[in-house]
Structure 1
Amino acid sequence: MAITVTLVLVICLGILFVLANANQTNMIVDFVMDIGRWLTTPFQNLFWMQNRDQAVLVNWGIAAVVYLFVGSALARLARR
């Protein structure tokens, strides 16, 4: 479950960086965004919107929910 929470936090932090217009050239922001882009690759352009911030919020948000759901289910199965 700790791995799932970490992945979801990285995705949520990436969403926050996009919405706050964080400096993309900053090493920390760049690192988090690279990981977030990789984790959300299957969800890219799931919903197309003209506003980039809204697209990231919706698509990455769906990815975070899916990761949380699947990770919770796997953790529950592992506890059995």
Structure 2
Amino acid sequence: MANADWQAKWDDRDKQGAEARTLNEAAERTKEQTYQQSINKSVQDGQRTIDQATADAAAARASADVLRGGGQRPCCSTRNQ
């Protein structure tokens, strides 16, 4: 085989390798984006849970204060004066 034939084969192999790398990189990016979206959703769900728990705790404290007589219910605030 002539040197030009070998060079053409190497060039073809290099081209195929570059195309394969490009396809593989695109597939890996897609996977990474899917993972990141999953992580973002988990973080958002966790933050919603924390926010709800915080609101529930505040409501429970307010109810406990009313039951202990430390707070007044809006419907009864004028009755005790």
TM-score range, shorter chain: 0.3 to 0.5
Q: Which has the larger radius of gyration?
A: 2
Higher relative helix content: 2
TM-score by length of 2: 0.36
TM-score by length of 1: 0.36
